[in-house]
A and B are shown apart, each in its own frame.
Chain A
Amino acid sequence: MGAVLFFVAATGAVAGAIGVVVLRNPFYSVLALVGHLLSLAALFLLLHAEFVAVAQVIVYAGAVMVLYVFVVAYVGGQAEPLGPRAGHGLKAAAAVLGGMLFILLSIATLGSGLGFMDTRGAVVPPSFGSPTEIGALLLTKFVLPFEIAAFLLLIAAVAAVVLARRRGGLSAVEEQARYSAMDMLRPTYTGTMAEAVGDRRELPKSPPPEPDEDDRS
């Protein structure tokens, strides 16, 4: 029973992964990833990590992927142009290296160390992976990573706001040309390249340029 579930979930996960990599439309890739995440949650359940599985579904598949969907909708999921621009051998090199990586990882994990370990897994009590256990550990042994993770989330939230804000406030000043009182008194064209070349003309007085209308949507 467990083996069957494993293979089903594993197939789903791998299929999702392949879908992410192969599908041209980014929106389909996002959907493929969602499927992958759900399969992964199933695999977690098989490994007695109930809390993590639920967290995976709610947080990852629920929140993060929704965020992705929004962004894909905003950016526009145009199909990627075909043909690599960055060097000819890149795709081939990628395939070769990817294969090598897989083989190596497999050898590393499966071949080398596992012989020493009992890979059936230790005998675990029924409450293994339950929220109680996880919660207790988070507040005692792993309280520091817990708190720091909270900080990290705060920083990420601030970063998101900063990155996505409209061009207003501080940036408006940067975009404006800096005019000081001296500029009013100086005749036009002084300090320019034209003057250095010896070509001094009188310009019509032009008003300073307005800040860019950046975002219309």
Chain B
Amino acid sequence: MDVGWFLAASALIFTLGAAGVLTRRSPLVILLCVELMLNAANLSLIAFARMHGNHDGQIFALIVMVVAACEVTVGLGVIVAMQRRRLPIDVDEMQELRG
């Protein structure tokens, strides 16, 4: 199978993830969409690894997976803390950074 197809799929999934980040209001779902984007990048990496014939891409993809796991941990920890303090779980409510 042409590696190009995989890359196209990766691009599609990436954009879907980006659209999700921009559109959804629940931080949980936003994090899920970020996961989508990361996975799309992983797919690209694996595809290129296959194309070049060395393992660098695969190792990179593994590390990306580790990073994604850490990021999910911390992000969910933040959401749990928000829930504990009875803050609304809605990114539009958190406007403290407003200038």
- Same assembly: yes
Report the minimal beta-carbon distance from B22 to chain A, rounded to whole angstroms: 4
Which B residues are CB-close (under 8 A) to A67? 72-73, 76
Q: What 0/1 readout, one digit per residue, does chain A (38-51) give for beta carbons within 8 Å of chain B?
A: 00100110111101
- State whether A149 touches B63 (Cβ < 8 A): yes
Partner of B59, one of A98, A134, A214: A134
A80 to B17, CA, bound (A): 18
Q: Considering only CB atoms and an 8 Å cut-off, how many residues of chain A contact the other chain?
A: 89
Q: Is the CB of B67 within 8 A of A149?
A: yes
A101's partner among B10, B15, B33, B76 (CB-CB below 8 A) is B15
The B interface, classified by DSSP as helix, strand, loop or mixed, is helix
Q: A117-B51, A122-B52, A159-B74 are in contact. Are A64 and B69 (CB under 8 A)?
A: yes
Residues of A within 8 A of B74 (CB): 156, 159-160, 163
Cross-chain contact B62 with A134 (CB below 8 angstroms): yes
- CB-CB contacts below 8 Å: B31-54 with A: 32-33, 35-36, 39, 42-44, 46-47, 49-53
The answer to whether the Cβ of A172 comes within 8 Å of any Cβ in the partner chain is no
**A71 & B53 in contact (Cβ 8 Å cutoff):** no
Residue from A26, A86, A97 within 8 A of B29 (CB atoms): A26
Given contacts A21-B33, A97-B22, contact A49 B50 (CB under 8 A): yes
- A63 contacts chain B at the CB level, 8 A cutoff: yes
| Chain B interface extent, by class | 35 or more
Task: State whether A153 touches B55 (Cβ < 8 A).
Answer: no
Residues of B near any A CB (own CB < 8 A): 1-20, 22-26, 28-29, 32-33, 35-36, 39, 42-44, 46-47, 49-53, 55, 58-59, 61-63, 65-74, 76-81, 83-84, 89-90, 92
18 contacts between A and B (CB under 8 A): A14-B12, A14-B16, A36-B13, A46-B6, A47-B6, A48-B50, A49-B49, A49-B50, A67-B72, A67-B76, A71-B28, A94-B23, A105-B14, A119-B3, A120-B2, A122-B52, A134-B58, A159-B77
